[in-house]
């Protein structure tokens, strides 16, 4: 049976490497498309039939690939590929059949593809349903530990900032800064995507590619064009902080908890 594979990867070298490995495994595999952004991925999945299999890098050019599952129901099985192991638990909350760490080698990809073939054969079996239930129970029982404070170095001094005192975190000039309730802003060494995973989603929300905000940081909100919301943040000099169009719906849900 010919398999149609959809690839999500924002690095051309990595995408080419995946295609080469897939062809080594089975020369009959059809590469349906190589997609490098969340936005294009959602668009493709909306207008095309579901692929037989998705190979999905977690960090794409415009965000984290898990965002795709928030916008559309993905029925195809997924093999996640990433250079980081911090997303493993979240990967198995969606319809993932494996989680491969880069650099990916032919033996690990082959094992994952073999698992895909076996899961297809057992897709409607009671054993698979029971196994999925057991996996979900294990995942739900794992306590989530969110960051309580950040260590900041200023010249030769070290201070800590409690997450409860953070108003917002933002990107400026290729650096990431967190700003506290006093209006002080400090450079941090983490990427914004990684900080997002450290914070309690009930308290913090990433409104666009540049800002993560705390609920208590919101001073005022106004409608901005037909599909956007402008947010005035406490202690923030930027008067043009806007919730991106694709996140407005989820942002409203977050506010309405």
Domain check: are 181 and 114 in the same one? no
Q: Does residue 114 sit in the same domain as residue 165?
A: no
Write the CATH number for 169: 2.40.50.40
* Same domain, residue pair 15 and 86: yes
For 164, the token pair is: 């409860």
Mean pLDDT of 213-230: 90
**What pLDDT was estimated at residue 125?**
47
Q: What order of strands is seen across the sheet that includes strand 78-82?
A: 30-35, 4-8, 53-57, 78-82, 96-101
Domain residue limits at 219: 149-255
Q: Which of the listed residues 84, 116, 141 is the one where a domain comes to its end?
A: 141
Section 92-115 average pLDDT: 81
Q: Residue 10: its pLDDT value, please?
A: 92
Tell me how far apart the 2 most distant CA atoms of the chain are, in Å: 63
Identify whether residues 165 and 103 lie together within a single domain: no
The model's pLDDT over 24-53, given as tens digits with 9 standing for 90+, comes to 999 999 999 999 999 999 999 999 988 999
Average pLDDT score over the chain: 86
Model pLDDT, residue 253:
93
Give me the pLDDT at residue 83, please: 75
As a whole number of angstroms, the distance between CA 233 and CA 213 comes to: 8
Pairing mode, if any, of strands 4-8 and 30-35?
A: parallel
Domain count across the chain? 2
Domain termination site, one of 125, 141, 157:
141
Claim to verify: residue 65 and residue 114 sit in the same structural domain: yes
For residue range 111-147, list pLDDT tens digits in order.
888 888 877 654 544 555 565 676 666 656 666 688 9
Around 136, how many Cα atoms within 13 Å sit in the side-chain half-sphere? 9
In this prediction, residue 74 carries a pLDDT of 87
163 and 248: one domain?
yes
Domain end position, chosen among 141, 164, 189: 141
Handedness of CA 196, 236, 38, 83 (dihedral sign): negative
CATH of residue 46's domain is 3.40.50.2300
Edge-first strand order for the sheet with 242-243 is 218-224, 228-233, 242-243
């Amino acid at each position: 049976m010919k398999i149609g594979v959809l690839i999500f990867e924002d690095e051309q070298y990595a995408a080419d490497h995946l295609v080469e490995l897939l062809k080594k495994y089975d020369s009959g595999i059809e590469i349906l498309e190589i997609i490098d952004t969340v936005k294009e991925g959602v668009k493709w999945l909306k207008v095309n039939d579901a692929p037989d299999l998705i190979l999905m890098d977690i960090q794409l050019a415009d965000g984290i690939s898990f965002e795709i599952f928030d916008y559309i129901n993905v029925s195809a099985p997924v093999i996640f590929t990433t250079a980081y192991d911090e997303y493993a638990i979240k990967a198995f909350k969606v319809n993932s059949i494996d989680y491969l760490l880069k650099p990916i080698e032919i033996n690990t990809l082959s094992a994952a593809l073999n698992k895909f073939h076996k899961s297809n054969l057992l897709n409607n079996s009671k054993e698979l349903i029971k196994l999925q239930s057991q996996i979900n129970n294990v995942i739900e029982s794992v306590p989530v530990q969110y960051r309580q404070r950040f260590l900041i170095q200023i010249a030769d001094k070290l201070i800590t900032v409690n997450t409860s005192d953070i108003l917002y975190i933002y990107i400026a000039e290729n650096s990431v800064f967190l700003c506290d309730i006093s209006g002080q802003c400090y450079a941090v060494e983490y990427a914004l995507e990684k900080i997002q995973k450290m914070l309690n989603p009930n308290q913090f929300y990433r409104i666009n590619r540049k800002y993560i905000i705390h609920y208590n940081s919101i001073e005022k909100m106004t409608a901005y064009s037909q599909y956007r919301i402008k947010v005035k943040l406490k202690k923030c000099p930027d008067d043009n902080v806007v919730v991106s169009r694709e996140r407005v719906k989820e942002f409203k849900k977050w506010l309405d908890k």
